[in-house]
A and B are shown apart, each in its own frame.
Chain A
Amino acid sequence: MKDKRQRLLKWEFALVVFLVIELFLFGQLSPSFLNLNNLLYSMNDFVYIALAAIPVTFVIITGGIDVSIGAMMGLSSIVLGVLWMNGINIWIALLITLLVAALAGCLNGILIAWTNVQPLVVTLGGMFVFTGIALVLSGGSSVSGYEGISGFPYEFVELANGQLFGIPNPIWILGLSILFFSFLLHFTRYGRNVFLVGINAKAARYSGINTRLIIMSTYMLAGFGGGLSGVILTSYFSSARSDLGSEAVLPIITAVVLGGTSIFGGKGSIMGTAIASIVIGMTQYGLQMVNMTSQQTNIVVGTMLILAVLLRNTHWQKLSKSLSIMKK
C-alpha cells in the first residue's frame, strides 16, 4: 500500500513538473500568458471541469464510470433557471438544485448498486434521461434550449465572476472542494471503504462493508459535483441553458484518469485529479493564446490522455521492475 502511495505521489509530482514546463513554454510563446492576473482569471474557464471531476474520482475508484455528468450540469443549470424564473429566491433555488443533482446521481447509484447492469449503461441511460428532462423543463417553460434563461441577480452572477481578497471566487470554491473531498477520500473510514470496494468488491463485502451503499453514495457525490459545476457555469455565463456541459464528459474523465486514477478502480487521489484539471485547463488556455480554437485543442487533450496512460502502463512498471532487480 505504501509503495502504491509513493508511486502516486510521484505521478502527481510528474504532473506538477509538466505544469511548470508547460507554463514556461507558453510564457516564451506569448509573454502576456504569465501575467498573474491573466492566469488566475483564466482558471475561471475550466474550474467547472475540476469541480465535476473531483467527485467523479470517487466513482472511478470504485471501478465505475459516470458519463451522465455533462447532462447533470445542463439539468442543474436549467432547474436553477426555472426555479428562479418562478420567483423562488436564488439561494434557495441553488440549494434545491444541488439537492436535485444529488438525487439524480442517487438514482444512477441505486440502479448500479442494486442491479447487474454495468455503470456505463446505467449512466448512459441516465444521460439521455437527464438531458431529456432538462429539455422538457426548458421547452415546458417556453425557453428554447439555445437561448436560455438570463437576467440573474447581481449577487448570483458575482458567485463565479467576483473575487475575494484579490482571488477569483471560483478558485476559493475549487480550494474548498479539494479540501473537503481530499479529507473525505484520504482521511475517513468512508474513503478507505471506497478504495476497498474498488480493489476487491467481494472481499469488501465479506469484511462487512455495505458495498452497495458505498457504490450508490459515490454516484450521489458525482451528481452533487455535476450540480455544483452546473451552478458555477450558470453563474459564469449568467444564463441557464439545458446544453451547458454537454461537451464536458471528455475533459472530466480525462482529468480523472490523467490524475492517476485507474479506470479499473482501486487507485487514485483527489490532488491528482485537481492538478490534472489545471494541467488540461492551462493547456487549453495556452493553446488559445497561440490562436488555436478550443475544439482544435481536443487533439492535444486526447493525445495527452492516451500518452499518459501509455507511459504509466509501460514505463513505470518497467522502472519499478528494474529497480526491484537492482535491489536484489
Chain B
Amino acid sequence: MPFLIRVLKARELSIVLFLVGFFILVGSINKEFITGDTIALLIKSSAILLVMAIGQSFVLLTANIDVSVGSTMGLSAAVAGILLTDGYSLWIIVPAVLLTGVIVGLLNGLGVAYGKVPSIIMTLGMLGIIRGTMLLFTEGMWIEDIPNFYKELSGAAFLGISLPVWIAIVLVVVCHLYMTRTKSGRCFYAVGDNEEGAVSVGLPVKRVLVLSFIFSSVSASIAALLFVMNIGFVPNQTGSGMELQVIAAAVLGGVSLTGGIGSVIGAGLGAVFFTVISNSLVYLKIPAYYNDAISGFLLLAIVVGDSQFQTYIRNQSTRINRNRQKGDSKGERQTTTIT
C-alpha cells in the first residue's frame, strides 16, 4: 500500500497513463494516429513547447512564475532572423540569441530577487517591454528569406531522430540530472519548498532565483532557434500567447505553482501531451476551432481531478500516520517508506 501510494503520488506516471490512454482512444477511432510517422511528427512539433517547459519548471519550482517567456521567444527569434538574413555565421548567431535570453532572465531575476517585485508583476511588465522592443527592433515587419542552410537543419537527422528532438532530449536529460543529482540543482526545490528555511541554512537563495529566471529565458531563446529552423520565417507576433501554453504544459506535467513539487521530465511530458491533444483533433476529424476548448477542458479536468485525488491520497496516508501514533505496529511498518 505505501509503495502504491508513492507511485500514485508521482505525477509523471499519471501523465504517461493519460498519454497512453489518449493514444489508444484516438488510435481506435483513426488508425493513422498510432503509426510511427505520426508519433515522430508529434514529438517534433512539441519540441519548442518542451524546451520552454523545461526552463519554466525551474522558475515554477522556486514558487515563482515567468510569463515573459513568449515575448522572450519572439525577441530571440527576431534577433536570430535578422542575424541570419544578414549572413552572419552560426558561431555568432547562436551565442547572440542565447545572450538575449540571458539578459532578459537576468533583468527578471534581479527584479524578483533584489527588487522584491512579485514575479508575476515583474515578468508581466517585462512581457510588455520585450514585445514592444521586438516590434521596435523589427519595425513591425515579418522577417522572411531565412537562408536555406538553416531551415534544412530542422530536417537533419541522426539515428532517425531529427535535430530539434535531439536538442530537446539532451536538455531534458541534462536538466533532470542537474536537478536531481547535484547539490546546486536541488537548491531549486529547497528554495521553492521553504524560502525562509533555505535562507537560514545558508543557501544562496537570491542567486538561485536569478539563475532560475535565466534558465527560463535561455530556454525560450533555444526554442526561438528551433522555431526559426522549423517555420523558416519570423512573424511579428511570434511567441505571443506561448507563455500560457508553457505554464499549462508544466502544470499538466505535475509542476506545482506553489513551488517545490515537480520535475523537468514531468514538464516535458506535459508539453508533449499538450501538443498531442491539439494535434489529435485532425485525426478525429474535429474542426481546428475546437482546439482551445478541448485543451482547456482537459487541462481543467486533469488538474482538478489530480488535486482531488492527491487530497484523497494525503488523507489516506495521514490516517496511516495516525494509526502509527496510536502505537499500531502494522501501521508503523507501513509508513516508514513514506516518511
Contacts and interface: CB of A to CB of B under 8 A. Distances in A.
Interface string A101-139: 000000000010001111011101111111111011011
Interface residues on B, range: 35 or more
Contact of A116 (B136, B140, B241, B307): B307
Interface in A128-187: 128-133, 135-136, 138-139, 145
Interface stretch (A16-24, A197-205, A298-306): A298-306
A122 B300 CA distance: 7
B305 to A, nearest CB: 9
B121 A293 contact: no
A38 interface: no
A77 to B, nearest CB: 16
A264 B130 CA distance: 25
Contacts of A269: none
Contacts of A117: 303-304, 307
B317 interface: no
A303 B303 CA distance: 34
B92 interface: no
B98 interface: no
B27 to A, nearest CB: 24
Contacts of A214: none
A299 B121 contact: no
Interface string B197-231: 00000000000000000000000000000000000
B91 interface: no
A61 to B, nearest CB: 15
B213 to A, nearest CB: 14
B113 interface: no
B244 A127 contact: yes
Given A127-B296, A135-B293, A313-B116, A299 B247 contact: no
Q: Is the interface of A mostly helix, strand, loop or mixed?
A: helix
A85 to B, nearest CB: 17
B311 interface: yes
Contacts of A121: 251, 257, 299, 303
A67 interface: yes
Interface stretch (A1-9, A39-47, A229-237, A250-258): A250-258
A306 B117 contact: yes
Interface string B264-295: 00000000000000000000000101111111
Interface of A: 65, 67, 111, 115-118, 120-122, 124-133, 135-136, 138-139, 145, 246, 250, 253-254, 257, 263-264, 293, 295-306, 309-310, 313-314
Interface of B: 65, 111, 115-118, 120-122, 124-133, 135-136, 140, 241, 244, 247-248, 251, 257-258, 287, 289-297, 299-300, 303-304, 307-308, 310-311
21 contacts: A67-B244, A121-B251, A122-B300, A124-B251, A125-B248, A128-B244, A128-B292, A131-B296, A135-B293, A145-B289, A253-B120, A254-B124, A254-B128, A263-B118, A295-B131, A296-B132, A298-B129, A302-B127, A305-B124, A309-B118, A309-B121
